[in-house]
């Protein structure tokens, strides 16, 4: 016969409720006791019945994580960190991709609502009003977008944009293009506001653009026509596409035009030239988002706003302005 929760309690010398809590809320159990219970469960081959537990507690111990584009290398480190961190709290993460489509995003939220205890929305494309309406059914935490009154994890892209513009200005670039992302993008707005606050440079705002390599390729003609010698791109994919588009037009990077991306994805570290970029703490954001969501699931939580610092990583795609 399969081992029961009572067998584990007897083998580990604790009450049944302690065994239950070890699996449902391990952070509330003394580490020594928790390890003893887990060891007994492992020896006996005990596995908690998650479906039965859900009926008793009203909790599925599942979380949903919805991203804008899972093919973008920015998201996998965030997803991986969120999943690993959730497992330490006995939660599992279901991942879904909206393909940058707000309608798909709304459909996924509605589909997840009855299957998870809470949702992580990463770089959502829905309007704030729609997000506020949909959260009535299940707790939300928003990543990389600020929604008033909702737990939020931000990566300070405004700070990163300032660092990037100051870096380009320090290299002598006086006309700098800012390539934005999708229409209505919160990140684009933060980058634009931060760039506009930088003095001593002439800014050119280009966009909206697709947040992909194709978006960067398409922007190459506009960048060339703008006369800008420095560029801050919406993300690394756009930056890498832009570099390819400039190369096709005989424009050298960084000899003729310097390019800065945002995200610090692995392909940008391997490209030629290696990409100067604003590093975004995606993994830390994933872990923080899980913590905030489980606070909301547990006790309703508060509208916490966590802001994580960004940094500039200087590589080979930026250099002195041409004479």
DSSP assignment of 233-296: ESSHHHHHHHHHHHHHTT--TTTT-EEEEEE--HHHHHSSSPPEEEE--HHHHHHHHHHHHHHH
Average pLDDT along the chain: 92
Beta-ladder partners of 140: 119
- pLDDT category of residue 53 using cuts at 50, 70 and 90: low
What is the reported pLDDT for 208? 95
What is the reported pLDDT for 58? 59
Distance CA 181, CA 142 (A): 19
**315 with 275: CB under 8 angstroms?**
yes
Distance CA 183, CA 273 (A): 29
Distance CA 89, CA 70 (A): 24
**Percentage of residues in the chain with pLDDT exceeding 90?**
80
Pairing of strands 311-313, 305-308: unpaired
**11 with 42: CB under 8 angstroms?**
no
Angle at 161 between CA 156 and CA 164, to 5 degrees: 130
pLDDT over threshold 90, residue 121:
yes
Least confidently predicted of 5-19, 69-83, 212-226, 234-248:
5-19
What is the reported pLDDT for 301? 61
What is the reported pLDDT for 165? 97
Q: When comparing pLDDT for 5 and 108, which is higher?
A: 108
pLDDT over threshold 70, residue 54:
no
Residue in 144, 140, 124 with CA at minimum distance from that of residue 297:
140
Q: What is the DSSP letter of 229?
A: S
Three-class secondary structure of residue 173 per DSSP: coil
Q: Which helix (DSSP H) or strand (DSSP E) does residue 84 occupy?
A: helix 75-87
- pLDDT category of residue 188 using cuts at 50, 70 and 90: very high
Distance CA 116, CA 227 (A): 51
pLDDT over threshold 70, residue 300:
no
What does the block give as tokens for 256?
């003729």
What is the reported pLDDT for 124? 94
pLDDT over threshold 80, residue 184:
yes
What is the average per-residue pLDDT within 226-251? 98
What is the reported pLDDT for 51? 57
What is the reported pLDDT for 105? 97
- Per-residue pLDDT tens for 77-105? 999 999 999 998 889 999 999 999 999 99
pLDDT over threshold 70, residue 274:
yes
Three-class secondary structure of residue 315 per DSSP: coil
What is the average per-residue pLDDT within 240-259? 98
């Amino acid at each position: 016969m399969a081992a029961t929760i009572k067998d584990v309690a007897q083998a580990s010398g604790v009450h049944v409720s302690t065994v239950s809590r070890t699996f449902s809320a391990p952070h509330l159990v003394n580490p020594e006791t928790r390890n003893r219970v887990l060891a007994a469960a492992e020896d006996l081959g005990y596995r908690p019945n998650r479906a039965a537990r859900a009926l008793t507690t009203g909790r599925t111990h599942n979380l949903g994580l919805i991203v804008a584009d899972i093919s973008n290398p920015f998201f996998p480190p965030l997803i991986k960190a969120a999943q690993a961190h959730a497992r330490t709290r006995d939660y599992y993460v279901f991942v879904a991709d909206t393909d940058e489509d707000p309608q798909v995003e709304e459909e996924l939220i509605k589909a997840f609502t009855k299957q998870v205890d809470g949702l992580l929305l990463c770089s959502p494309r829905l309007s704030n009003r729609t997000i506020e309406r949909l959260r009535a059914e299940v707790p939300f935490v928003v990543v990389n977008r600020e929604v008033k009154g909702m737990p939020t994890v931000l990566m300070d892209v405004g700070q990163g944009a300032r660092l990037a513009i100051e870096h380009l200005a320090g290299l002598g670039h006086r006309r700098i293009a800012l390539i934005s992302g999708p229409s209505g993008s919160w990140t684009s707005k933060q980058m634009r506001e931060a760039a506009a606050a930088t003095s001593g440079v002439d800014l050119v705002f280009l966009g909206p653009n697709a947040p992909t390599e194709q978006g960067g390729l398409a922007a190459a003609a506009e960048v060339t026509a703008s006369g800008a010698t420095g560029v801050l791109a919406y993300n690394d994919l756009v930056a890498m596409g832009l570099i390819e588009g400039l190369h096709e037009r005989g424009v050298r990077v960084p000899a003729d035009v310097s390019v800065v991306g945002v995200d610090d994805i692995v392909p940008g570290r391997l490209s030629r030239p290696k990409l100067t970029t604003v590093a975004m703490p995606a993994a830390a954001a994933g872990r923080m988002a899980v913590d905030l969501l489980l606070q909301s699931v547990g006790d309703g939580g508060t509208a916490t706003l966590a802001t994580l610092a960004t940094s500039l990583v200087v590589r080979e795609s930026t250099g002195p302005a041409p004479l």
